[in-house]
């Protein structure tokens, strides 16, 4: 047996493992992202838009797969990379060229993602400027497949407006704690609405729930919520024809799900429960305005 060759192999392995450890110990610091310019809350308050953006940065793997624009980093020299990073206030001379290039590519992807988010916020702004556009209609729900983008925006705005009102009314520590927990739970839904990752069935159900909230029909909103949680599609009462000839097409939409939506996964369960809390808050405020007791 050639002991010399065995010793050499062991030395090489130790050197390689040492290099790997050094690389892992060298952490690349990335600059903090700018906060949403529309955020008006203090640092201690939670804003839905800011929280949603943080959620996307931290937990969403899909947005981390944004296509790299290779034309923006074509075989750059180290001086060119330094120049671009310096312009972004992200230059760290202690990094190697490869690490600097990775940082630059990351920042470019981040910029693309933030621009996409800004485009969506601009779309929402059009609805904020026109209250009539915020109203969910039966016609839009019936033709949900054709009106998905409209309904997605309307639901997001409805959610944010309820939160805004709730923030103004939250006085006790218990109210504030419930509000904070509800916001955290709803983030996944806000993201799914913005990125069109919600099924048509769920979109119909949510549209129906917020339609009933807007019309102050809270019994119907709660009925629709129950159907959403158990996995059935809920339509506004009287909208869908349930005659003999319509049953087959209706069954294609509603499906024959045996799994409750609230049992799909933990993040889905959290946002479904958060929707229920929004219904409860609006119902409570409506009763207070009407002078109901109990």
pLDDT in tens, 149-165: 999 999 999 999 999 99
- Residue 48 CB contacts under 8 Å (≥ 6 apart), including other chains: 159, 160, 163, 183, 186, 187, 190
Give the pLDDT confidence score for residue 259 in this predicted structure: 56
Q: Is the dihedral of CA 48, 50, 52, 58 positive or negative?
A: negative
User: Do residues 184 and 213 share a domain?
Assistant: yes
Domain assignment of residue 12, yes or no: no
The answer on 172 and 236 residing in a single domain is: yes
In a shared domain, residues 105 and 58: yes
For residue 239, the tally of other CB atoms under 10 A from its CB is 13
Residue 62: predicted pLDDT: 42
Q: How confident is the model at residue 270 (pLDDT cuts 50, 70, 90)?
A: very high
From 233, 213, 214, 216, select the one nearest 276 (Cα to Cα). 213
pLDDT at res. 232 = 77
Q: Same domain, yes or no, for 106 and 220?
A: no
Where residue 22 falls among pLDDT bands split at 50, 70, 90?
Answer: very low
125 with 147, same domain: the answer is: no
119-177 pLDDT per residue, tens: 878 888 888 888 889 999 999 999 999 999 999 999 999 999 999 999 998 888 999 99
**Is 255 a domain residue?**
yes
**DSSP string for residues in 255-274:** TT--S-GGGS-HHHHHHHHH
pLDDT band at residue 103 using 50, 70 and 90 as cut-offs: confident
What domain range includes position 110? 28-129
Which of 84, 107, 129 is at the close of a domain? 129
Note whether 117 and 256 are same-domain residues: no
- 244 confidence band (pLDDT: 50, 70, 90): very low
Q: Tell me if 72 is assigned to some domain.
A: yes
Same domain, 145 and 158: yes
Q: What is the pLDDT of residue 82?
A: 83
Domain tally for the chain?
2
Query: Cα separation of 159 and 269, whole Å?
Result: 17
Give the model's pLDDT for residue 189: 95
- Among 62-66, 104-108, 257-261, which is the least confidently predicted range? 62-66
Find all residues with CB under 8 Å of 147, minimum gap 6, and list them. Answer: 140, 141
Residue 113 and residue 78 share a domain: yes
What radius of gyration do the chain's Cα atoms show?
26
Average pLDDT over residues 200-226: 94
């Amino acid at each position: 047996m050639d002991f010399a060759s065995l010793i050499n192999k062991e030395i090489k392995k130790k050197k390689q493992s040492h290099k790997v450890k050094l690389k892992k110990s060298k952490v690349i610091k990335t600059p903090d992202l700018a906060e949403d310019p529309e955020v008006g809350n203090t640092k201690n308050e939670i804003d839905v838009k800011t929280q949603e953006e943080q959620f996307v940065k931290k937990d969403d793997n899909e947005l981390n797969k944004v296509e790299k624009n290779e034309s923006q980093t074509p075989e750059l020299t180290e001086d060119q990379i330094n120049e671009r990073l310096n312009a972004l206030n992200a230059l760290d001379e202690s990094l190697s060229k490869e690490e600097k290039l990775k940082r630059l590519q990351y920042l470019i992807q981040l910029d693309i993602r933030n621009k996409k988010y800004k485009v969506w916020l601009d779309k929402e702004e059009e609805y904020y400027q026109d209250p009539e556009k915020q109203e969910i209609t039966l016609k839009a729900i019936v033709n949900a497949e054709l009106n998905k983008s409209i309904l997605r925006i309307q639901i997001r705005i409805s959610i944010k407006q309820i939160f805004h009102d709730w923030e103004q009314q939250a006085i006790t520590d218990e109210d504030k704690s419930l509000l904070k927990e509800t916001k955290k739970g709803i983030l996944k839904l806000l993201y799914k609405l913005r990125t069109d990752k919600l099924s048509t069935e769920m979109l119909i159900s949510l549209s129906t729930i917020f339609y009933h909230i807007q019309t102050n029909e809270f019994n119907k909103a709660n009925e629709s919520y129950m159907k959403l949680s158990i996995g059935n599609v809920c339509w506004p009462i009287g909208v869908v024809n349930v005659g003999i000839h319509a049953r087959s097409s209706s069954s294609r939409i509603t499906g024959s799900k045996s799994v409750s939506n609230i049992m799909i996964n933990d993040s889905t369960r959290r946002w479904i429960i958060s929707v229920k809390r929004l219904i409860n808050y609006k119902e409570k405020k409506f009763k207070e305005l009407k002078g109901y007791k109990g």
